[in-house]
Structures are given as structure tokens and as C-alpha cells.
């Protein structure tokens, strides 16, 4: 076991992937000499060279388009989008080209491109630097979307994304980059597309992913002080979603709260609520309750704490669910 931050875990995971796969390479804005805005790629250019850790122009469409072409020639590109709100110039390339290549070619071609996107708020930044656009990509078939919430998962998930034959978007919770945790660098038993029960309980289930998993765990601990046993599930994968793990939990607890930073309207929580209502209608003792951001552009840093779902908002949702 090693103790490291999520940022360091991703760095070590990328180092392992580059060493294992000679045709893999990193590309993105300021990721080489600077080591990235968050220093996630620090030291990799010096170790692997400028032909495998490449600084690109500020052109997200060009980054993704180039990566697609390189992937079709047998390479394994790992792209970094500097901030979540900057991905949209490359959105067309991702959703209309990258996601459809395998189907369009009837399985003859694949484009194993990994796209790393730091996402979410809580860093006191300016416009376009605190977005949560995961639902926009999850709506597009052909993309796999994962998000780690701890250092161990981050270390292994980035490597597994590189080895996946499908395009994978890795949403990295930027406000958790400095969250420390234990990493077992020898264990490979992690399935990035399977949800994990991170806290067992019997009275209600809370599903969260990425930056909100620590908040959900804190809410569950607070609820325990009032005598309520809350199970917490780390979703890990946003597309595909591991509905079996959620269903098994809800069949036990009878209540479900889904929490994410992205706006509640049109969010991942709505899909989970609908699917679980279909699957577990007779097990539910209360409506599925969603907790998320408000349906508005992300606010200025001075008031972002009022926008972000916190412990109190999850506890309020649990109180409503338990009150039925």
C-alpha cells in the first residue's frame, strides 16, 4: 500500500500505462514542460520524451481530431482537456466521430482514445472552469464514461481506460485532486464499470459519484448519529451504469437518494431514478429523490458554496425519504 493524492495516483497510473504500452502517448495544453495546470502530468515528459508527452495548441477540436486519426493508425492517444468547460470545441469530434467509428465500420475499426477531463466546482474559479457536463456525453452511445472518487480507483481506472478498445472519457474530480488515500499498486481486481458499495446500511441508499462520494459518506455518518443506517454506493461508471448493484441495495433498503454536482434537471440522477422505479417498484417505500445542482449556469466563485450539494442537502433528502 502507498499513500498518495488522487492527482499523484493518476500521474503514477499514466506512468505505468506509458511504460506498458509503447504506442500510447499524452497530448494536451501545457501538459509537457509545465506538467499540466494541476501538475497531474508532472515529470512525464522528462521521463518519456517530447514525442510521447506532447504540448498542443489551444485547440480542443484539433486535439480530439488528431487523436482519432492516430488511434486509427494503431496508437493509443490519451488526451487532456485542460478544464471541463473547454471541451465543447471538441464536442462535435467526440460525439459525431469518435463515438460512432466502431458502429460505422461494422466493427472493423476502433478508436481507443482516452479523454481526461477535470470537472466539477469547488475550486473558486471563473466561468467555464467548474462545469459538470457528464450527462451530455452519457447520452451519446459509443462512449464509456468513468469517474474515480479516491486515489486507488484513480490509479487503476486510468490504466484500464488505456487498455479499453472503446473510447473512454475519464472525468476527474478536480477539487479532490489533493485528497489522499491508500493505493494498492499490486491489486488489479477493480472493475471500473462496476459500482462499489463503500458503506453498508439498511435504511436507505445514497448513490453518488466523483466529487460527491466523500460528501455522501459524511452525510451517512451524520445520519448514523440519529440512528439511521445509510448505504453509500460509489457509481464509478456513468456509462454504462451498474444498475444491478443499485437494484440489490434498494431491494434491501427500500429508499434511494441520488446525488451529483451537475444540475438535477436532465442529469444522471433522473436516469437512475427512472430505471430503479421500473426495476424495484414494489421494493421502494418512498419516491427516489435526487440531489444536484440548480438548473442555472454555474455561479461566480463567491457564492458557489450555495450551489454545490452539501451534507445538509443530502441529509434533507434522506429525511424526506425516511419520512414516508
What is the grid cell recorded at 71? Answer: 488511434
Rounded CA separation 143/99 (Å): 5
Rounded CA separation 243/263 (Å): 21
Q: Which helix (H) or strand (E) holds 10?
A: helix 6-20
Are 52 and 18 contacting, i.e. CB atoms less than 8 angstroms apart?
yes
Rounded CA separation 320/322 (Å): 6
Give the relative orientation of helices 311-322 and 213-225 as an angle to the nearest 10 degrees: 50
Q: Which of 129, 152, 228, 260 is catalytic?
A: 129
Residue with cell 460509489: 234
Is residue 273 helix, strand or coil?
helix
Rounded CA separation 15/122 (Å): 28
Rounded CA separation 95/231 (Å): 35
Rounded CA separation 145/133 (Å): 11
Q: Catalytic annotation on 129?
A: yes
What is the grid cell recorded at 286? Answer: 418512498
Q: What DSSP designation does 96 have?
A: I
**Catalytic machinery residues:** 129
Amino acid at each position: 500500500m502507498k499513500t498518495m493524492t488522487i492527482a499523484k495516483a493518476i500521474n503514477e497510473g499514466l506512468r505505468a500505462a506509458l511504460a506498458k504500452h509503447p504506442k500510447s502517448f499524452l497530448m494536451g495544453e501545457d501538459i509537457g514542460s509545465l506538467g499540466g495546470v494541476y501538475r497531474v502530468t508532472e515529470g512525464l515528459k522528462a521521463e518519456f520524451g517530447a514525442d510521447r508527452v506532447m504540448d498542443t495548441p489551444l485547440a480542443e477540436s484539433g486535439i480530439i481530431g488528431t487523436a482519432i486519426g492516430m488511434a486509427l493508425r494503431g496508437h493509443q492517444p490519451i488526451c487532456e482537456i485542460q478544464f471541463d468547460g473547454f471541451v465543447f470545441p471538441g464536442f462535435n469530434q467526440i460525439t459525431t466521430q469518435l463515438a460512432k467509428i466502431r458502429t460505422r465500420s461494422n466493427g472493423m475499426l476502433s478508436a481507443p482514445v482516452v479523454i481526461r477531463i477535470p470537472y466539477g466546482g469547488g475550486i473558486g474559479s471563473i466561468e467555464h472552469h467548474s462545469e459538470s457536463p457528464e450527462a451530455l456525453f452519457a447520452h451519446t452511445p459509443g462512449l464509456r464514461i468513468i469517474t474515480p472518487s479516491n486515489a486507488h480507483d484513480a490509479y487503476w481506472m486510468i490504466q484500464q481506460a488505456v487498455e479499453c478498445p472503446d473510447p473512454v472519457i475519464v472525468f476527474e474530480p478536480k477539487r479532490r485532486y489533493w485528497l489522499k488515500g491508500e493505493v494498492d499498486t499490486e491489486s488489479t481486481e477493480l472493475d471500473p464499470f462496476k459500482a462499489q458499495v463503500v458503506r453498508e446500511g439498511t435504511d436507505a441508499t445514497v448513490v453518488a459519484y466523483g466529487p460527491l462520494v466523500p460528501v455522501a459518506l459524511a452525510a451517512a455518518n451524520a445520519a448514523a448519529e440519529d440512528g439511521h443506517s445509510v448505504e453509500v454506493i460509489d457509481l464509478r461508471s456513468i456509462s454504462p451504469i451498474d444498475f444491478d448493484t443499485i437494484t440489490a441495495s434498494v431491494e434491501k433498503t427500500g429508499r434511494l437518494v441520488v446525488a451529483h454536482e451537475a444540475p438535477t434537471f436532465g442529469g444522471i440522477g433522473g436516469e437512475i431514478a427512472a430505471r430503479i422505479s421500473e426495476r424495484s417498484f414494489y421494493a421502494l417505500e418512498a419516491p427516489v429523490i435526487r440531489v444536484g445542482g440548480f438548473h442555472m449556469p454555474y455561479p461566480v466563485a463567491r457564492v458557489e458554496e450555495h450551489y454545490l450539494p452539501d451534507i445538509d442537502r443530502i441529509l434533507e433528502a434522506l429525511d424526506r425519504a425516511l419520512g414516508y
